[in-house]
Amino acid sequence: MSRPDLNMLFTLDVLLAEGNVARAARRLHLSPSAMSRALARLREATGDPLLVRAGRGLVASPRALELRDSIGRLVREAEAALRPAGELNLAALDRTFRIRCSEGFVENFGVQLLARTSADAPGVRLHFLHKLEKDSGPLRDGTVDLETGVLDKDISPEVRTQALFRDRYVGVVRPGHPFTQGEITPERFAAASHVHVSRRDQDKRPLDEALAALGLERKVATTVGGFTAALALARATDLVACVHERHTGNLYAGMHSFAIPLDIPPFTVSLLWHPRLDGDMAHRWLRGCVREVCRVTDPTPA
């Protein structure tokens, strides 16, 4: 069975509204003969005369009267669907956004982001998900709306990105640790007992590569899967934790941080989303809230 020509719905709507072929033709910018041919196609498609001559005018058949309201509603809905989105009513917005983020994001930016979104849209809920892997599958399949992280080769090329802030590695130790006194040289840094953060075996950090260039290697006493665990161990022992300065700032509050004595370039933490959400006005608003909370000071793209 062939598909019906849905353009005929718009033609039928105008014909039923005008009850006159000539007037309907003018509204649709068609010639009277073209409109007459369109009416003939509609009669063939519906199996009904639709408009029947009565004196000098046309009157609607019972079938046409039955269709008039439903056809008009369908046409209005189609026009609304194809019209650019109207103004976003944040006060009435009722929606849950799923944000997958690197460790430390919620602890450092979650409170401000919740306050920012609830002020504009009290019906919006934020569901924060821990980022265990860097694959773009959750963004692509729609199980995640937004993501934060450092860009690398695992990010799918179609994913949209925008810089949030620049960050760097810093060393963190407990108050009273020997590293709170004296110069920290690369040799002294490497010789200390470290807690290594890695989600994969044999995963090397940029600081390990920088040490290797100097012929040095860290003394790794233990390995954990995240910054929270690393800082908890460093807080209670003489272990040295190397973490992201801005991303984990609240996690190491009250501890002693120091600049790592190595040439390690800073990196950019970015916001990521799938291009199908580019035009979603509510999603655009949320992206703006995240950028505002993170206060991008260095817009250099990653």
CA–CA distance, 112 with 106 (Å, rounded to integer): 9
Give the C-alpha separation, 192 to 222, whole Å.
12
Section 1-25 average pLDDT: 79
Q: Could you report the per-residue pLDDT of 161-204, keeping only the tens digit for each?
A: 999 999 999 999 999 999 999 999 999 999 999 999 987 655 66
- pLDDT at 297 exceeding the cut of 60: no
pTM: 0.68
CA 279 vs. chain centroid, Å, equals 11
Ordered by where they begin, the domains of the chain are 7-82 (1.10.10.10), 90-167+267-294 (3.40.190.10), 169-259 (3.40.190.10)
pLDDT on residue 240: 98
What is the overall mean pLDDT for the chain? Answer: 87
Mean pLDDT of 61-70: 83
Q: What is the mean pLDDT of residues 239-268?
A: 94
At which residue do the structure tokens 């309907």 appear? 24
Alpha-carbon gap, residue 254 to 100, rounded angstroms: 27
CA distance 184 to 179: 7
pLDDT at 55: 74
Q: Which of 121, 261, 103, 233 is nearest to 177 (CA)?
A: 233
What's the pLDDT at 81?
A: 63
Give, as one character, the DSSP assignment of residue 109.
I
